[in-house]
A and B are shown apart, each in its own frame.
Chain A
Amino acid sequence: MKWAVVQFPGSLDDDDALYALRDVLGQDASVLWHKDKGLSDAECIVLPGGFSYGDYLRCGAIAHFSPIMKSIARFAADGGLVLGICNGFQILCEAHLLPGALTRNRSLSFVCDTVTVRVENRHTPFTYLMQHGDLLRLPIKHGEGCYVAPEPELRQMEERGQVLLRYVDSDGDQSDRGNPNGSMRSIAGVANERFNVFGLMPHPEHAVEAMLGGNDGLKIFRSIAASVAG
């Protein structure tokens, strides 16, 4: 299938996403410059991690005004698959393609670590090859990953199954200890109501090779590819 990774000024994990897709998974992945308007004919758009526009003003706040974001909003409205990782998740929230917002970590510090997340809904393109309750070990690295949303909205999201990944401890339980940034309800990743836009703070593109600490991230990319292939 055809993938495209968007490059904003200040994107950092764009090369890593491309490496995971092309070199590890053998997928067809191209780069889209933030000033582009066309999306080539990608079937899944990846918004990578990083510090787009230096994260000045607010994470993702400036990037969502990039010319390409208008095209991506249309693409998403037409049902196209969009995956936002870390800063990409922040941009999708700023662009209101995903509910909620990402705020400063509870510790007030940047945190780089490996966390365990639990799959909460397997009926989506992004979790297509997983089971409910599967545990994934994925790296995180962010200063603003504390997920917040109004309580009524959170309840609705939970009811609809929009929470796809939750931080858990090594036993697989939702707990304060397993929550690295203070996210409400330990939310690590959410989808929109149509389940074609997904944002997550952990970095699946950094978990694609055993030598570099694990390859659980492949499950997300492979799920997307398998769901597109039907």
Chain B
Amino acid sequence: MTPVPIAGEPVVDSALARAHGLTGDEYALIERWLGRTPTFTELGVFSVMWSEHCSYKSSRNHLKMLPMTGPRVVSGPGENAGALDVGGGWVAVFKIESHNHPSFVEPYQGAATGVGGILRDIFTMGARPIASMDSLKFGALEHPRSRYLLSGVVGGIGGYGNCVGVPTVAGEVMFDPAYNSNVLVNAFCLGLAHKEQLQSACARGVDNPVLYVGSATGRDGIHGASLLASAEFDEASASKRPTVQVGDPFTEKLLMEACLEAMQIGAIVAIQDMGAAGLASSSSEMAGRGNMGIELALDKVPLREAGLTPYEILLSESQERMLLVAEKGRESELIAIFKKWDLNAVTVGRILREPRWRVAWKGKLVADIPVRALTHEAPIYGRPAHRPKSNPAACGKTPVASRPTPKEALRALLASPNVCSRRWIFRQYDSIVRGNTVVGPGGDAAVLRIKGTHRGVALKVDSNPRACARDPYLGTVSTVCEAVRNVACAGARPAGITNCLNYGNPERPEIMWQFVKGIEGLRDAALAFDLPVISGNVSFYNETEGRAIPPTPTIAVVGILEDVAKHLKSYFSVPDDLIVMIRTAAPMLTASEYNALFGSDSNEPWTVNLNRERRLVEGLVDGAERGLIRSAHDAAEGGTAVALAEACFNPHQTLGADIAGLESDPQLFGEGASTVIISATGAHLEDLRRLFEPLEVTVLGRVTGSPRLIIGEEIDQDIDDLRLIYEEALPRRLSSND
């Protein structure tokens, strides 16, 4: 039997294929796979499954270079999310994913459904989500659209995450004109599971029933993956708003509880979220992993409205839906659990021995495709990658203005949108639900305890597009170093990486070059720290009218604390403690926030010594475990002087610091080098020196009981005054009318 066209459908030809984002060659390949012209339904399915978003056709060859194995890796890339053994019988399941394009078109729903999607990737694995974080990039705050996008995205993240009951515990936000026309929303989630409870997305067992659970299918999100996420923006992008899905966090919460409960009875063979490309991708990918076939009866699929065509049912990206393969004969037990939670649960198909993807509707066959053609055999491109003749302008460059005094520079940096407190944002997120948050937003890394054990996990997400714009390789290396260092500053031993690689159009050789350099940087840094990359996501086509974002690899690192009580705070807490600084290289003003504010003509050469970076991280973790370090804080945007001020912002008491030996602007405000500010009792100084060898441990001064930050002759500032600048900068900027 051959699939037949449905009355009223468009005639399929190469022009229609092109309108679906498929090239002429790709269309010819489809005809070869089928030995005939595809039906309209089949064309739609091919177009999403072969889209960049679903097939990773430009990136797959390069991603293979990443180290993905290690003694702690329980499950690497290929499943819905990676899983890492964190000890005590627990595995941490985590992943980060982009929702950039939808968030630019419709910020609230785009960000909300980004959170929803990543949550489902985690609980699909059998893990209960315990923490979320987000990496956000917006245009300059002065840009007319930025505030709308910021409040929409933050509202969406909070609206979804708060209602579903997963705390948002950390994140990062950057404002830069380079993102005026392309925001980035990368959402991370981490869950915990007992090792033996991990679920698979690999279909097995001929005749096993396929169950559809969760929300009914509507027309939202059709072609989100192919038309929205796999193409550049232009003036008409607003018209793509209907391709953005609408989230329902309440249903997500029910779905999560029902799935986690259903997983307990051992009747689920395989399970996958209906995310991008919905029913088409979840069914074909599960079958593909198991080298099985699958048969779907679309008449059984719960629909929100009558009249949806097979094309629409298969490609809908309606949220809060899962597809699962059950053990034959046990489907009624599973259905009963979903009914308890008032959710749809219906058998919509079965697993076939013959590896074909077959879809029936109203008694007719509407699609019949070899499974491998949709999954493993989707086209892969070795796209040309060339270094551009001249490095495109690094973001944030401004003409050289008059030099401020160190005091003025410190105050201006603390008020800069890229440095100042993010409280306005994270106050809108529930950061404590589920009762595990030991260190929440506002520190270097978040720390969560694992109930029933003494253990904990630390997590942080970082990116550094300015550095990546200068040098996409070194920029990625230093981004990994920063995320690893932040986790180590919490006292946790870094254990694994997930990544979200945000770039422009990969069909342009200079963008592909940035991407390849980014992969190389991620690989080399991960190898240097012995860290596996256990999951990830690639987001291409982040450009508008030919202008791409700076290369933005977003790196999230998860670390392990064997004794969570030994975690480190980022701020000073005891007067008379020594303040020491450990650096891996000399800081510079090139590509710094200082330069973004005040301009600079500096272009200093730049290297990263990974041996020294590793020593720094090992020293921090060992020092925390041995109780030699009271607090540790990483110097990021704004450099060492800003880090010293932040370390004085103890939320419980007002302390100060008296510092000497930081004299020049690069010393005070430079970035690019890894700098960590530690406080410790003087008795531990010699131990610390031995611990960090061969890195130099520089004594900068002491924590004081008086509320002033004194740095040499130039800076003598009241801490509460600086704290006010730091805390009020963002709300003030957002409520001002200019």
- Kindly identify which residue among B341, B432, B564 contacts A141, using a CB–CB cutoff of 8 Å: B432
- Asked if B248 is at the interface of the complex by the 8 Å CB criterion, the answer is yes
In the complex, A111 Cα to B428 Cα: how many Å?
Answer: 5
* Surface stretch bound by A, among B409-417, B433-441, B478-486: B433-441
Q: Which residues of B contact A113 (CB under 8 A)?
A: 427
B714 to chain A, nearest CB (A): 33
- Asked if A53 is at the interface of the complex by the 8 Å CB criterion, the answer is yes
User: Closest residue to B166 on the A side, CB-wise?
Assistant: A12
- Asked if B165 is at the interface of the complex by the 8 Å CB criterion, the answer is yes
Per-residue 0/1 for A40-65: is the Cβ within 8 Å of any B Cβ (1 yes, 0 no)? 00000000011101111000000000
Per-residue 0/1 for A143-158: is the Cβ within 8 Å of any B Cβ (1 yes, 0 no)? 1000000000000000
User: Closest residue to A113 on the B side, CB-wise?
Assistant: B427
**Would you list which residues of chain B between 140 and 178 have a CB under 8 Å from chain A?**
158-159, 162-165
- Asked if B565 is at the interface of the complex by the 8 Å CB criterion, the answer is yes
User: Closest residue to B435 on the A side, CB-wise?
Assistant: A16
Q: Which residues of B contact A51 (CB under 8 A)?
A: 162-163, 165, 249-250, 253
- Asked if B720 is at the interface of the complex by the 8 Å CB criterion, the answer is no
User: Closest residue to A11 on the B side, CB-wise?
Assistant: B165
Contact B250 A56 (CB under 8 A): yes
- Asked if A199 is at the interface of the complex by the 8 Å CB criterion, the answer is no
Per-residue 0/1 for A190-222: is the Cβ within 8 Å of any B Cβ (1 yes, 0 no)? 000000000000010110000111000000000
Most chain A CB within 10 A, of B159, B163, B341, is at: B163
A47 to chain B, nearest CB (A): 16
In the complex, A205 Cα to B428 Cα: how many Å?
Answer: 20
Q: Which residues of A contact B431 (CB under 8 A)?
A: 112
In the complex, A213 Cα to B426 Cα: how many Å?
Answer: 17
Known: A51-B250, A211-B449. A10 touches B163 (CB 8 A): yes
Contact B451 A19 (CB under 8 A): yes
Q: Which residues of A contact B436 (CB under 8 A)?
A: 212
User: Closest residue to A19 on the B side, CB-wise?
Assistant: B435
**Would you list which residues of chain A between 138 and 192 have a CB under 8 Å from chain B?**
139, 141, 143
**Would you list which residues of chain B between 417 and 434 have a CB under 8 Å from chain A?**
426-434
Contact B449 A141 (CB under 8 A): no
- Asked if B254 is at the interface of the complex by the 8 Å CB criterion, the answer is yes
In the complex, A213 Cα to B436 Cα: how many Å?
Answer: 11
- Asked if B299 is at the interface of the complex by the 8 Å CB criterion, the answer is no
Contact A211 B438 (CB under 8 A): yes
Contact A212 B165 (CB under 8 A): no
Q: Which residues of B contact A23 (CB under 8 A)?
A: 451
In the complex, A112 Cα to B432 Cα: how many Å?
Answer: 9
Contact B341 A9 (CB under 8 A): yes
Q: Which residues of B contact A213 (CB under 8 A)?
A: 432
In the complex, A110 Cα to B155 Cα: how many Å?
Answer: 9
Known: A50-B165, A51-B163, A212-B435. A10 touches B430 (CB 8 A): no
**Would you list which residues of chain A between 16 and 50 have a CB under 8 Å from chain B?**
16, 19-20, 23, 49-50
Q: Which residues of B contact A141 (CB under 8 A)?
A: 162, 430, 432-433
Known: A12-B253, A113-B427. A54 touches B432 (CB 8 A): no
A4 to chain B, nearest CB (A): 19
In the complex, A10 Cα to B248 Cα: how many Å?
Answer: 12
Contact A110 B434 (CB under 8 A): no
Contact A54 B250 (CB under 8 A): yes
Contact B342 A206 (CB under 8 A): no
In the complex, A180 Cα to B11 Cα: how many Å?
Answer: 61
Contact A110 B435 (CB under 8 A): no
Q: Which residues of B contact A134 (CB under 8 A)?
A: none
- Asked if A13 is at the interface of the complex by the 8 Å CB criterion, the answer is yes
Contact A109 B428 (CB under 8 A): yes
User: Closest residue to B342 on the A side, CB-wise?
Assistant: A9
- Kindly identify which residue among A55, A111, A203, A211 contacts B427, using a CB–CB cutoff of 8 Å: A111
- Kindly identify which residue among B248, B253, B430, B564 contacts A112, using a CB–CB cutoff of 8 Å: B430
A-B contact sample (16 more), CB < 8 A, given A9-B253, A139-B432, A211-B564 = A10-B163, A10-B250, A12-B164, A12-B165, A16-B435, A50-B165, A54-B163, A54-B248, A54-B249, A55-B163, A109-B427, A141-B162, A141-B433, A203-B432, A212-B435, A212-B449
A-B contact pairs, 13 of them (CB 8 A): A19-B451, A51-B162, A51-B163, A55-B163, A110-B162, A112-B426, A112-B432, A206-B432, A206-B433, A211-B438, A212-B436, A212-B438, A213-B432
Would you list the 10 A-B pairs with minimal beta carbon distance, nearest first?
A54-B250, A12-B165, A51-B163, A16-B435, A141-B430, A110-B428, A112-B430, A110-B158, A109-B428, A206-B432
